[in-house]
Structure 1
Amino acid sequence: MAAIGALVKKVWSIRRFLVLLCTPLVLLPILISLPPKEGKCLFVILLMAVYWCTEALPLAVTALLPIILFPFLGILPSNKVCPQYFLDTNFLFLSGLIMASAIEEWNLHRRIALKVLMLMGVQPARLILGMMLTTSFLSMWLSNTASTAMMLPIAIAILKSLFGDKEASEDLNRENGENQASLQQNKLYTVPTELQFLASPEDNDLMEEKEVAIEISLDLKKEEEYRANIWKGFLISIPYAASIGGTATLTGTAPNLILLGQLKSFFPGCDVVNFGSWFVFAFPLMLLFLFLGWLWISFLYGGINLRGCRKKKSERRADAEDRARAVIMEDYQKLGPIKFAEQAVLFLFCLFAILLFSRDPKFIPGWASLFTPGFVTDAVTGVTIVTILFFFPSQRPSCKWWFDLKAANTENVPLLSWRKAQETVPWNIILLLGGGFAMAKGCEESGLSVWIGGQLHPLESVPPAVAVVLITIVIALFTEFASNTATIIIFLPVLAELAIRLKVNPLYLMIPGTVGCSYAFMLPVSTPPNSIAFSSGHLLVKDMVMNKNSSHKVIEHCSSPWSSIAGPPLSSLSLCDVHVTTFFFTG
């Protein structure tokens, strides 16, 4: 047995290397059994899917494989593959990441977070709501991981001021245990008879003291359970809000931009999905999911009293809330008065959002109509604004400086340096996006998408509403074990072809799949925000699973709005017509 155990450990230590070598060999029959070009493309896609799911190679390195394999296998020439890695969609995402770097550089995100928490109040349910609102807003613009990493220390500081740290909880447990032991030794649970009461008034007084001791012990136990539940509620709410908030904007999370890029690849005539139209559609859904998530977390972990009666607040809890309020105020005061750089970044951030919303809102002419049609995209808007960050001064300009010959002639420091952008921007995400677009291009050029469509004909009898529910469940489960980005890259080509087979608009299936992909709530490994919260040591896997079960019902419920774009049967690939526009701005 010892030898077998040692062998298993050796195999486990080289598992990634074994996956790298064995996966191509296992997938070789695909090259033989399928038509040549379609089989080669499917071979590459499945190979990348396995590597992404197992992380046998870094995710960004796996995304580069089409540059190697597509030309060698005769699927696509290099001059068609490489441009997919720097489409305008990638530059839109890059501009969002650079703007997020400037916000983080000047601590604007922390000021916003603390201000919201000050406004929300320090009762646990309100604080959880404040945490979720702040985290979701930040994750609309920052990455989900950065939003979680920033909010979690704030939450832990507040929790420690409310309830103390883990050592204090252990002391409370120990005190509770000692009280219960002393009660058992003194036989406090024996019921006195009427004769005992009449015979000894002193014993009667002693019994009353014992009953009070029992009540104190039970109160301590309830208080400890309350503390543990509030800790869990706080820590779970932050990564969940980050994942939910990222769905509200195109730049909030990578799967949204992959949807946009693959739509342009498969359906070039589709131009209704842009930053503004996506926000009008997704932001109300984000608020709905956030509110339902807050209710569910508060119900599970004691933040809300649903019994219809307000219990009297104990002095201990009142003091704890005062301490929490003081912690938030102290952190906010440490930031000092708002600086000129913060004001400048806030102004440019608001300008960034307004210009993206108003470029081409569809229901009215946008400012892009002043230029040559089709020339100005969201990427042009984003890159224009973030370029200003690299030369706009971080100190307030002064006219007196020009006339003061003794003033220091120091060079102005811009709002963001390129060195800082290099350090903070996750460049690997850009390569992941490019890998997804390259896969979509390969599916289109090789004819694999048409071949997949031919294999899906048994599903033509499935009602579209049922298809939406099944797709959402499958993708939401699959993304628990694989990267959200990799998951949506794999599924979107299949969803596009399935929509054609079902004779519905592709957005009817592709949008629920994309949104469902971001709802990776169940496991610590599902998404980096979950891992960050889980690493705090106060959460168990079962705590996350309890919340995931309810989220499936919420996502499935949202299949009903898609009926407004299921619309009439589609006869061509120019699928994105007035029905989709009507859905985005009225449905």
Structure 2
Amino acid sequence: MSVVGAVIKKVWCIKKYIILVATPLILSPILFTLPPQEGKCLYVVLLMALYWCTEALPLAVTALLPIILFPFMGILPSSKVCPQYFLDTNFLFLSGLIMAAAIEEWNLHRRIALKVLMLVGVQPSRLILGMMITTAFLSMWLSNTASTAMMLPIANAILKSLFGEKFCEDKGMKSNEASSVNLENGLHPVPTEVQFLTVNEEDKDLPEKTDVNIEVHPDLIKERQYQNNIWKAFLISIPYSASIGGTATLTGTAPNLILLGQLKSFFPGCDVVNFGSWFIFAFPLMILFLILGWLWISLLHGAIRLSCKRRKKSDIRSDAEAKARDIIQEDYRKLGPTNFAEKAVFFFFCLFALLLFTRDPKFIPGWASAFTPGFTSDAVTGITIVIILFFFPSKKPSLKWWFDLKAPNIENKPLLSWKKAQETVPWNIILLLGGGFAMAKGCEVSGLSTWIGGRLQPLEGLPPALAVLLVTILIASFTEFASNTATIIVFLPVLSELAIRLKVNPLYLMIPGTVGCSYAFMLPVSTPPNSIAFATGHLLVKDMAKTGFMMNLMGVLLLSLAMNTWASSIFQLGTFPDWVPIHYHNVTALASNIQNLTTGG
């Protein structure tokens, strides 16, 4: 048995190499059983999908495979593959990332977070709401990972002030090895139910503590359970709201931009999806989801119910809440008065959002109408603003400096340096986006999208509303185990063909598929924010699964509601659009006829 175990461990150590070698061999029959071009493209798509799901290679490296495989396999020439990695959609995303870097450089995001928490109050339920609102807002502009990483230490400090020190000392957790690791990470230990029982058993051997434990045992246990539940509620609410907030803007998360890029590839005439129209659709959905999510998390973990019941016994808790309020205010004071750089970054951030909203809002002429039609895009707007960040001074210019010969001649630093941008911007996401666009182009040119559409005939009788529901459930389930970016890259071509088969607007299925892949709440591996929260050591998988299942269900139902109500008018979903190329209307029928002639003749 030990030999078998040793072999299994060795195999596990080289599992990535096994996947790298075995996957192409296992998929090779596809090359010989399907039509040549479609088979080759499907081979590449499945190979990349499996590499992405297993992370046999880094995600960004897998995204580079089309540059090698498409030319060698005769699917697309290199001159058509490489430009897909730097479409204007990539530059729109890059501009959002650089703007986020400037916000982080001058701590503007922290100032916003603390200000919101000062406004909402310090009762646990209100603090959870404040955390969720702040994290969601930041995630609209920063990455959801960065938003989560920034908010967790703030939550930790607040929780310590509410009941942290007492919670730690009473349980004798300071010498615990796991707690030491958590403290190194700036996180306060939260005992599990098992640890409660263990400590209680150990306390029986300590005479000096026995009398105290017997005297206050019932109330103490209830208080500890309450504290433990509130702690979990805080930790769970932050990554969940980060994922929800990222859906509200086109630049908030990579799948939204992948949708935009693939629309331009499949349907070049589609101009109804831009920054403004997406925000009008997604922002109300985000607000509804945040409110329902807050109610669910607060009720499940007792933040609302218990805080109402215990108002009579509020002396200790009032003191704790006062301390929490003092800590938030103290952290805010430590930031000092708002300096010129923060004001400048905030101004350019607002200008960035305003220009994106007003470029082409559809319901009124935007500022883009002053230029040649088709010459401006959201990428032009974004890059224009972020370039200014690299030369705009971080200190207020002074005329006195020119006339004071004794004044120090120190070069004024810009709001953002290129070194900071290099360190902060996750460049691998740009390559990942490019890989998705290259894959979409290959599916289009090789005819794989049309071939997949021909295999979807059994779904033609499906009611469109039911199709939206099923698509969202499928993708939300799939993305629990795989990267949401990789998931949407694989599914979007299929969804566009399915929509055409159902004779509905392609956006009717592609939009819920895109948003649904951000609704992954049940497992720690579902999203980086979930992993960060789980890594604190205070959450169990069952905690996330129990809370996340209802979150997934609410997200699916809310998304279905949105697609069949206000999204219908925003994206004109009620009619089959003119921007779908003519050949899409008849291509499946032609393919079927050709197949019948070749097989029956």
Shift in CA distance, 176/24, structure 1 to aligned 2, threshold 3 Å: closer
How do residues 129-148 of structure 1 correspond to structure 2 at under 5 angstroms?
129-148=129-148
Q: Is the 8 A contact 1:179 1:217 kept in 2?
A: no
How do residues 340-489 of structure 1 correspond to structure 2 at under 5 angstroms?
340-489=340-489
**How many Å separate the matches in 2 of 1:175 and 1:452?**
57
- Secondary structure of 1:411's match? coil
Give the counterpart letter for 1:161 in structure 2.
S
In the other structure, the counterpart of 2:31 is: 31
In the other structure, the counterpart of 1:271 is: 271
Give the counterpart letter for 1:42 in structure 2.
L
**How many Å separate the matches in 2 of 1:518 and 1:376?**
29
1:372-395: CA deviation from partner (whole Å, max 9, x where unpaired): 111010000000000000000001
In the other structure, the counterpart of 2:574 is: 567
TM-superposed CA distance for 1:169, in Å, is 5.1
Q: Is the 8 A contact 1:41 1:446 kept in 2?
A: yes
**How many Å separate the matches in 1 of 2:54 and 2:19?**
8
Q: Does 1:534 align with 2:545?
A: no
The number of residues matched between the two structures is 550
In the other structure, the counterpart of 1:202 is: none
1:65-91: CA deviation from partner (whole Å, max 9, x where unpaired): 000000000000000000000000000
Q: Is the 8 A contact 1:90 1:433 kept in 2?
A: yes
In the other structure, the counterpart of 1:93 is: 93
Shift in CA distance, 368/309, structure 1 to aligned 2, threshold 3 Å: same
Give the counterpart letter for 1:6 in structure 2.
A
**How many Å separate the matches in 2 of 1:14 and 1:308?**
55
TM-superposed CA distance for 1:442, in Å, is 0.2
Q: Is the 8 A contact 1:456 1:501 kept in 2?
A: yes
Give the counterpart letter for 1:562 in structure 2.
M
TM-superposed CA distance for 1:548, in Å, is 1.8
In the other structure, the counterpart of 1:194 is: none
How do residues 209-288 of structure 1 correspond to structure 2 at under 5 angstroms?
216-288=216-288
Q: Is the 8 A contact 1:114 1:328 kept in 2?
A: yes
Q: Is the 8 A contact 1:247 1:515 kept in 2?
A: yes
Give the counterpart letter for 1:512 in structure 2.
P
Q: Is the 8 A contact 1:503 1:570 kept in 2?
A: no
Q: Is the 8 A contact 1:176 1:220 kept in 2?
A: no
Q: Is the 8 A contact 1:453 1:501 kept in 2?
A: yes
How do residues 20-59 of structure 1 correspond to structure 2 at under 5 angstroms?
20-59=20-59
In the other structure, the counterpart of 1:168 is: 169
Shift in CA distance, 436/179, structure 1 to aligned 2, threshold 3 Å: closer
In the other structure, the counterpart of 1:580 is: none
Give the counterpart letter for 2:111 in structure 1.
R
Further displaced range: 260-269 or 213-222: 213-222
- Secondary structure of 1:379's match? helix
**CA RMSD across the alignment:** 2.3
TM-superposed CA distance for 1:412, in Å, is 1.4
- Secondary structure of 1:538's match? coil
The runs of 5 or more residues in structure 1 that have no matched partner are 183-209, 576-587
Q: Is the 8 A contact 2:478 2:487 kept in 1?
A: yes
**How many Å separate the matches in 1 of 2:48 and 2:342?**
42
Q: Is the 8 A contact 1:393 1:415 kept in 2?
A: yes
In the other structure, the counterpart of 2:296 is: 296
Q: Is the 8 A contact 1:162 1:324 kept in 2?
A: yes
Give the counterpart letter for 1:293 in structure 2.
G
Q: Is the 8 A contact 1:270 1:574 kept in 2?
A: no
Give the counterpart letter for 1:167 in structure 2.
C
TM-superposed CA distance for 1:310, in Å, is 6.3
In the other structure, the counterpart of 1:196 is: none
In the other structure, the counterpart of 1:190 is: none
**How many Å separate the matches in 2 of 1:175 and 1:327?**
33
Give the counterpart letter for 2:279 in structure 1.
F
Further displaced range: 46-55 or 312-321: 312-321
Shift in CA distance, 403/496, structure 1 to aligned 2, threshold 3 Å: same
**How many Å separate the matches in 1 of 2:9 and 2:197?**
40
1:23-78: CA deviation from partner (whole Å, max 9, x where unpaired): 00000000000000000000000000000000000000000000000000000000
TM-superposed CA distance for 1:7, in Å, is 0.5
How do residues 68-107 of structure 1 correspond to structure 2 at under 5 angstroms?
68-107=68-107
Sequence identity, in percent?
74
**How many Å separate the matches in 2 of 1:174 and 1:459?**
54
- Secondary structure of 1:141's match? coil
**How many Å separate the matches in 1 of 2:277 and 2:422?**
31
TM-superposed CA distance for 1:326, in Å, is 1.4
TM-superposed CA distance for 1:411, in Å, is 1.3
In the other structure, the counterpart of 2:191 is: none
- Higher Cα Rg, which structure: 1
How do residues 330-345 of structure 1 correspond to structure 2 at under 5 angstroms?
330-345=330-345
TM-superposed CA distance for 1:325, in Å, is 1.0
Q: Is the 8 A contact 2:51 2:57 kept in 1?
A: yes
1:157-195: CA deviation from partner (whole Å, max 9, x where unpaired): 11111111563352495999489969xxxxxxxxxxxxx
TM-superposed CA distance for 1:556, in Å, is 2.8
Q: Does 1:517 align with 2:517?
A: yes
**How many Å separate the matches in 2 of 1:50 and 1:521?**
22
Shift in CA distance, 178/568, structure 1 to aligned 2, threshold 3 Å: closer
Q: Is the 8 A contact 1:247 1:286 kept in 2?
A: yes
Give the counterpart letter for 1:481 in structure 2.
F
- Secondary structure of 2:246's match? helix
**How many Å separate the matches in 2 of 1:264 and 1:434?**
13
1:391-436: CA deviation from partner (whole Å, max 9, x where unpaired): 0000110001111111112211000000110000000000000000
Give the counterpart letter for 1:238 in structure 2.
I
TM-superposed CA distance for 1:484, in Å, is 0.7
Give the counterpart letter for 2:343 in structure 1.
Q
**How many Å separate the matches in 2 of 1:213 and 1:61?**
57
**How many Å separate the matches in 1 of 2:422 and 2:199?**
53
